[in-house]
Structure formats: C-alpha cells, structure tokens
A and B are shown apart, each in its own frame.
Chain A
Amino acid sequence: MAGRRKRTTVVITGIAGRLGQLLARRLHRQVDTQVIGIDRRAFHRRPKDIEHNRIDLRRKAAEDIFRTHNVDVIFHLGLMHNPRQDQGEHFSWNIIGTQRLLEFAARYQVPKVVLISSGDVYGPQVDNPAFLSEDAPLLAAQRFAAIRDLIAVDMMAQSYFWKMPELETVVLRPAHILGGVRNAMSNYLRMPHPPTLFGYDPLMQVIHEEDVVSAIVAAARPGLRGVFNVVGPSALPLRQLIAAAGKTPLDLPHPIAPMIARRAWTLRLLDIPAAELDWLRFAATLDGSRAREQLGFEAVYSVRDAVAAALRRSVFEGEADFVRLKSNADFAAADVAHRP
C-alpha cells in the first residue's frame, strides 16, 4: 500500500508508572503508532501491541532498543523522585539514565525527545514572582538539596538545544500533578489531616494527570522545541485545596514544624522531608502562557476533577505491585515514582 503513512515508533521510559501507563494507552490507540516501554518494573495489563522491556537505562541492553528500532519520539518519564530512596542511587538513576537516553537520541538520530521535568525545580520562595516564566532560575535546591539531580536533568536536556540543534528537545515542567499518581501532592491530599503551617496559605497550582498526558502528546508534534510550564486551570490557596479534598488541615506552628517533620519522617509517619515544608509557606506559581501559545495546550479538567482523581480509592494496578514489592524489601527496584 503505497499511500500508507509511516509508522511512528515511540519509546516511553517509566512506562509502568501511572503517567507512563496513561500515556501508553493514549498513544497506542492512535493509528500507526508503535509503543515501546522501558522500565525496571513490570507493566501489568499491558495492551498486547505494546512492547515492554524490563531493563535499566544504565545497562548496555538499553541501547539495543534504539539499535533495532527506528525511534521517532522518546518520552522520558522514568525519573525517580522518592525522598526515601538512597541518594546515590537516586542521582545515578536520574542523571546517568537521562544522559544515556540523550546520547542514544543523538547517536541513532531520534528526531524528538520529550522530558517530563517538574514545576518543582523553581522551588518555593517568598520572592517568587506570581508568574514564574520558563526562564526563571531553578532555585529549588537552595533549601531542598535532594532535588539537585532533577534540576541537573532538566538542565542537561536544555543543553541539547545547542549541543544537538537538529534534535527537537522539549522539557515540560508540570505543576503538582493530581490523580492516581503517587507523587508528593497527591499523597499529601490523601492524608487524613494534611499538615499546614499556622498563618501560611500559599497559592497552589495543580493539574489533572490526563491533562499532563495531553500536554505530553501535544509536545510530540514535530517542529516544537523548548521548555514549557504546564499548568492546570487555576491557582488556589492551599487551604482551599485541602477543603476541596474534604480534609481538615493540621496546623503546625512554623518554628517547630521542621523538628516535628524530621521526627515523623524517621518514624515513617510522614513522607515529606522537613526541607520541603517551604512548599506550605511560599508559592511557586508557574506562568503557563507559553504552553498555551506554542503547544496549544489548555487544561480541560478542573481543580475539583483533579482532586477527586487523587482521592479515588481504586487507584491502579501498579499500586498493588508497589505494596508487594515494598514488603519484599525490593523497594529500590520498584520505586520509580514519577513526580513531576
């Protein structure tokens, strides 16, 4: 059939995570798209036509995928953000993994790479402007050192704008994603009494996971490159967000909150590192106008939809897997949590 369109081959790293699964399902429904997954974790209820490779990007075998396929787009979702993870492994996974992936893209002439970074890279600061543009400095690590690798990865992808001008690199920085994902914000809203700091009520931006997937798909369009903030429909005060989740906040006085958080962290009562408490004090609201103009991205899910999605109990198949592996002390291998 001469008139047949070329088949598009896409690689999704971190495909077994919530966002990866949603993206895989969205893409494999498109005609003439072949989806290849890379993830250490198993991909349950995988649609048959999706090829899944249970490998680590840092292994030699990862390169074979690019050698044997003519890959058109790489979606790099497989970043680790788990503050409980060993720092060395965390850094090595994110930085070496991403570097290898970008090298493959350069070596095998992949025309497009889409990296899912995070809106967290700007960091909460009192002197953040109300609209953080994509050019704002990435200051998150000045208080919260463990996020350094995510910033490095973001910058590394940006360096490919000039290193490999023919490679279309897109960096997406979504606001706090809500949904079946196991990220800090969704977990926070699932707590019976999300902790807040007395006298503080910063603006928060949240976005529904399906909206993020839409932005990722939009970013794959040929001809696009650059960094884009991806935001939901509206920013709202933290306490209103908690109220929207039907929860009552637990107010802690700010001067002693870090102490309490550190104790709760060691006792595994709280999964928020003390350094991240600044998120409960200051805002980091992103300016999503560039994504609106260039990606044509507009969030369709409201904040209430997003909150409801985060609270839905029947989370997803991966959750059971996660719990099992955790009990098997196979924590490191399983925990490729996607937290933009």
Chain B
Amino acid sequence: MDRRLDQAQERIERIANAAWQQLAVADDVRRRGLPARIAREVREAAGEVRDLLQSGSWRMPEPELRRRVDHLLANMNLNEFGVDAFGFSPNYVAKVIPVIEAIHRLWFRAEVYDIERVPAFGRCLLIANHSGQLPFDGMVIGSSLLLDRDPPRMVRGMVEKFAISLPVFGTLCMRCGQITGLPDNCRRLLADEEAVMVFPEGAHGIAKPFSQRYKLTRFGHGFMRLALETQTPIVPIAVVGAEEQIINAGNFELLAKLLSTPSIPLPPLALLLGPLAMMPMPVKYRVYYGEPMQFEGDPNDDDAVIARKVGEVRGAIESMVARGLRERRGYFV
C-alpha cells in the first residue's frame, strides 16, 4: 500500500516538474492579458504542488492520523459491523483518506480560515454557499474539518437524494458519513450532538452558470426551522474558488427535466476536452468559517420571520465570500 503510494507520488512529482518547466517556457514568451496571468498562476500552483510533494508535507504523519481517527471513534455510535445507523463506516474513511488528502492538499490546495470557530463538541449546523457543478465544496469542508481542525470533527452532509441514488457515488457518500437530505435524519444527528452540513441553496446554487458566480441564490428555510427547533448554533461558511473549477455556460433544463436529474451543465470547454470538461480544474479553494450564530424563536413562525433570520446567515456568508474574493490573487493561487 505504502510503496504504491510512494510510486504514485513519484509519478505525480515527475508530471508536476515537467508541467512546471513547460510553463516556465510559456512564461518566457510573455504573453499579455488573462492567458498570461493564468499561465503564471498555474506555474505558481505547480511550484506549490512540487514543494508539497518534495517535502511530503501534504500527507499527515501516520501517528497524527491515528490520533485523529481515535478521537473521532471515541464519539461514535457504531455497531459490531463498524457502521452507524446511517451507513457511515469510519474504516472506509480511513481507507480513502490518502485520496481525500491528495484532493484537499494537492489538487485544490485548500486554505482554511478560522476553522476553530466550529465548536469542538456539541451539535452545530454548518451552512455554506454551494457552487462548482460537482459537490467538491462539500468534500473540502468535510476534509478541512478532518485534516485542518484539531481536534478533528466529523461532518455529516445532507446530500441531494438524486446524488445518493447514483451507483458508486451514493454508496461512497454514505460510507463517508453523508446522509440523505431529510429533516428527520438531520434532527436525529443533531440530537446525537453531531455537526451537520447543509447547503441551503441546494441544486440551484451548485448548478449556477459561470456568469452568476459568487451571487448567492435563494436560501431554503428548512435549516433555520431545524436550528430553532433543536436550539442548534449555526456556523456560516464561505467557499471561494469552487465556482471556477468547472466553467458552465448554462443549464440544459429541458433535458434535465426529462431525465429527472437536478441539472445538466453545458461546459464550453467540452468542445475542447469532451467529458473531461466536467473534471474540476485545480483551482485554489479558500474556506472561511464564520462566528457561530445562535437564533431564538418559534420554529413554526411565519415565513417572513424565518426569512429575516435566514437573511442574517446569508449576509454573513455573503460578506465572507466578498472578503475571499478581495483577498485572493487569482484562480489558481
């Protein structure tokens, strides 16, 4: 296992080196404008990946990983088959953690801010903006809380039922602790003092075309009613960078309806790359965690009252998104 990983690492290192040299040549040509800027960014990103690979710092040392896993296992209701009532299997997560680390540290080189604002114990709702056509933003939030927070926290994401119904992907989600997005499931996990992640924008948010990037769509109200009902603190989260991972010109809505899928994106790069256009580009992810917010009130209040509270959370996320856009130097760095 370890030898194979080392070999894979060597191979990636070689590719990264080659890419870096190629881009250095491209930089010499000194083209102007956006292509040059992107080339410079990619070159810098490739350099970053190269450094990470050379130092090996992208992978967590074995004892550190073990300590984190033990910490998580201490707070879980697992049966004798090592799964919980939602089909979450920590053993499975332990197996795929190198892949998660590679995506988190090398591919997206995620930068995480104020992650200690997520409470170490006790129930909480993690509310984030949704973007990027494929739900890698959820994955990065989950992996940041496993890899970057100390002590780590397991995130239980509420997943669209269409995604859960897919072969392989659905099973993968469930084994990694993600759950079908139903209020009842959420209520139970909050009662068990878990951290539940919700994207209130849902499918509309993730399927936004490129022109609408970083404009938050309508937030659903369900999470706020649940938070009020269960007296759960809300941690607003902004993910910046995910919007550029897949460029989407618009959605094929009629076909999506016919196939009863949430959306069918039309990536212009498909003309060049074919299905590879749906592979996320190695953009840089920035994840901002906000101050936990506690709301009081009747969970069955009028929509207008709930909307005001939801608006507060949305506003907090919006301003963190704005901060992220201000702070970043480019798409890939």
Measuring CB to CB, which residues of chain A are less than 8 angstroms from any residue of chain B? 126-131, 197-203, 233-237, 240, 254, 281-283, 285, 302-303
Q: Closest residue to A201 on the B side, CB-wise?
A: B171
B-chain residues with CB within 8 Å of residue A237 when the two chains form the complex: 81, 83, 87, 89
- Interface membership of chain B positions 138-170, coded 1 if the CB is closer than 8 angstroms to chain A and 0 otherwise: 000000000000000000000001001111111
Give Cα distance in the complex from A26 to B79, angstroms: 30
A-chain residues with CB within 8 Å of residue B81 when the two chains form the complex: 234, 236-237, 240, 303
The answer to whether A131 and B79 have CB atoms under 8 Å apart is no
The answer to whether A200 and B171 have CB atoms under 8 Å apart is yes
Interface of chain B residues 9 through 36 with chain A (CB within 8 A): none
A-chain residues with CB within 8 Å of residue B175 when the two chains form the complex: 201
Contact of A130 among B165, B166, B179 (CB under 8 A): B179
Contact flag A131-B85 (CB < 8 Å), given A126-B180, A199-B171, A234-B80: yes
The answer to whether B79 and A236 have CB atoms under 8 Å apart is yes
Contact of B167 among A130, A200, A283 (CB under 8 A): A200
- Interface membership of chain B positions 163-202, coded 1 if the CB is closer than 8 angstroms to chain A and 0 otherwise: 0111111110001000110101100100000000000000
Q: How many A-B residue pairs have CB under 8 A?
A: 69
B136 within 8 Å of A (CB atoms): no
Give Cα distance in the complex from A110 to B179, angstroms: 45
Give Cα distance in the complex from A127 to B158, angstroms: 12
The answer to whether A127 and B171 have CB atoms under 8 Å apart is no
Nearest CB in chain B: distance from A178 CB, A: 15
Pull 10 A–B residue pairs with CB atoms less than 8 Å apart, ordered by A. Answer: A127-B182, A129-B188, A130-B180, A131-B188, A199-B171, A200-B167, A201-B171, A235-B87, A237-B87, A303-B81
Q: Closest residue to B79 on the A side, CB-wise?
A: A234
Give Cα distance in the complex from A130 to B179, angstroms: 9
Measuring CB to CB, which residues of chain B are less than 8 angstroms from any residue of chain A? 79-81, 83, 85-87, 89, 161, 164-171, 175, 179-180, 182, 184-185, 188
Nearest CB in chain B: distance from A234 CB, A: 4
Contact flag A127-B80 (CB < 8 Å), given A199-B167, A199-B168: no
B-chain residues with CB within 8 Å of residue A283 when the two chains form the complex: 87
Contact of B83 among A128, A200, A236 (CB under 8 A): A236
A-chain residues with CB within 8 Å of residue B164 when the two chains form the complex: 126
A-chain residues with CB within 8 Å of residue B166 when the two chains form the complex: 199
The answer to whether B83 and A130 have CB atoms under 8 Å apart is no
The answer to whether A203 and B87 have CB atoms under 8 Å apart is yes
Nearest CB in chain B: distance from A238 CB, A: 10
A-chain residues with CB within 8 Å of residue B171 when the two chains form the complex: 199-201
Nearest CB in chain A: distance from B259 CB, A: 13
The answer to whether A130 and B170 have CB atoms under 8 Å apart is no
The answer to whether B80 and A302 have CB atoms under 8 Å apart is yes
Contact of A127 among B83, B86, B161 (CB under 8 A): B161
Nearest CB in chain B: distance from A123 CB, A: 14
A-chain residues with CB within 8 Å of residue B167 when the two chains form the complex: 197-200, 254
Give Cα distance in the complex from A297 to B281, angstroms: 54
Give Cα distance in the complex from A235 to B170, angstroms: 18
The answer to whether B85 and A129 have CB atoms under 8 Å apart is no
The answer to whether A127 and B180 have CB atoms under 8 Å apart is yes
Give Cα distance in the complex from A130 to B185, angstroms: 6
Nearest CB in chain A: distance from B92 CB, A: 10
The answer to whether B170 and A200 have CB atoms under 8 Å apart is yes
Nearest CB in chain B: distance from A311 CB, A: 18
Nearest CB in chain B: distance from A181 CB, A: 23
Give Cα distance in the complex from A126 to B171, angstroms: 11
The answer to whether B184 and A129 have CB atoms under 8 Å apart is yes
Give Cα distance in the complex from A130 to B168, angstroms: 19
A-chain residues with CB within 8 Å of residue B169 when the two chains form the complex: 199
B-chain residues with CB within 8 Å of residue A198 when the two chains form the complex: 167-168
The answer to whether B85 and A126 have CB atoms under 8 Å apart is no
B-chain residues with CB within 8 Å of residue A127 when the two chains form the complex: 161, 180, 182
Q: Closest residue to B187 on the A side, CB-wise?
A: A129
Nearest CB in chain A: distance from B241 CB, A: 30
Nearest CB in chain A: distance from B168 CB, A: 4
Give Cα distance in the complex from A281 to B180, angstroms: 14
B-chain residues with CB within 8 Å of residue A129 when the two chains form the complex: 180, 182, 184-185, 188
Q: Closest residue to B169 on the A side, CB-wise?
A: A199
Give Cα distance in the complex from A300 to B161, angstroms: 34
Q: Closest residue to B168 on the A side, CB-wise?
A: A199
Give Cα distance in the complex from A237 to B184, angstroms: 21
Residue with the highest number of chain A CB atoms closer than 10 Å, among B81, B168, B175:
B81
The answer to whether B85 and A235 have CB atoms under 8 Å apart is yes
The answer to whether B168 and A126 have CB atoms under 8 Å apart is no
Closest 5 CB pairs of A and B: A199-B167, A234-B79, A199-B168, A129-B184, A126-B165
Nearest CB in chain A: distance from B183 CB, A: 9
Nearest CB in chain B: distance from A53 CB, A: 43
Give Cα distance in the complex from A234 to B86, angstroms: 11
The answer to whether B184 and A131 have CB atoms under 8 Å apart is yes
Contact of A233 among B79, B83, B182, B184 (CB under 8 A): B79
Q: Closest residue to B85 on the A side, CB-wise?
A: A130
Nearest CB in chain B: distance from A256 CB, A: 13
The answer to whether A235 and B179 have CB atoms under 8 Å apart is no
Q: Closest residue to A302 on the B side, CB-wise?
A: B80
Give Cα distance in the complex from A128 to B181, angstroms: 10
Give Cα distance in the complex from A130 to B182, angstroms: 9
B-chain residues with CB within 8 Å of residue A254 when the two chains form the complex: 167
B-chain residues with CB within 8 Å of residue A128 when the two chains form the complex: 180
Contact flag A282-B165 (CB < 8 Å), given A203-B83, A235-B85: yes
For the A-B complex with A126-B180, A127-B182, A285-B85 known, give 8 more contacts whose Cβ atoms are closer than 8 Å.
Answer: A128-B180, A130-B85, A130-B86, A201-B175, A203-B83, A236-B81, A240-B83, A283-B87
